[in-house]
Amino acid sequence: TNTSRVIVAFLWLYAMILGMSYSSSLTAFLTVTREPPTIDTFKDLHGSGLKIVALGPLFGNLMKQCANVYLREMYQRFVPLHSNPESWVKDGRAGYITSRHYIEYTMAQLNSEHREPIVRVMKECTWPFSVGVGLQSNSPLKPSTSRIVDRIVESGLVSYWFHESVRYATRGRRLKHKGSKKDKEESEDSSMVDPLNIDHMQGVFYLLSIGCFSSFILFLGEVWYGAGKE
């Protein structure tokens, strides 16, 4: 009867929607990489269990005497280094304490192939102080030096020089990467597993579209045949 046909059609539509939703969710789960939770505060950094590295023992002494309880406790995980602390950060073994401008300069050099930074700066600041110019006590050069430094800062030259340095570092790394990209592609193993993308799954959508279209044609033919028979 027509009632049973309507019920079967709705059940078929429900099953098709349910199957498509499940397959889409499964595809998204397999293809989209979940980002790990970010570390933005001292509490997050303390709970992550990462070591803390820096050049020399200065920042370790500051952590030991800091009023922040998380920084004091993380002093037990502090590792003073003499060189190459960036490798610890790239390997995910530690967090690196240094000046913000130096971290931003380092981030420009450690961009991925798509020019996305692979390291980040934590939002909560550790110690809000700047780098100064040291002179001998009671030096007659202090007034002139202070005046010149103030003029340089107020004119924006410090920010300009910094951004120019970052731009040159980024451009140099990008040119170097372009020069070695061809050699890298030729040396890659052809058996390397590629991640799933929409090109790998086009056939599934084609089959689904053909099946839906064929079912719709058969349904129209059945309705037309039933109407003519009556």
Tens of pLDDT, residue by residue over 167-220, are 777 776 666 656 555 545 444 444 445 555 666 666 667 777 787 887 788 778
Reference 98, options 72, 70, 126; nearest CA is: 126
Structure tokens, 169? 């570092």
How many other β-carbons are positioned within 10 Å of the β-carbon of residue 126? Answer: 17
According to the model, what pLDDT value does residue 191 have?
A: 43
Rounded average pLDDT over 111-116: 64
According to the model, what pLDDT value does residue 115 have?
A: 64
Out of 63-72, 83-92, 110-119, 157-166, pick the least confident: 110-119
Instruction: Tell which phi-psi region holds residue 65, choosing left (phi > 0), alpha (psi between -120 and 50) or beta.
Output: alpha
Residue 119 or residue 190, greater confidence: 119
According to the model, what pLDDT value does residue 201 have?
A: 63
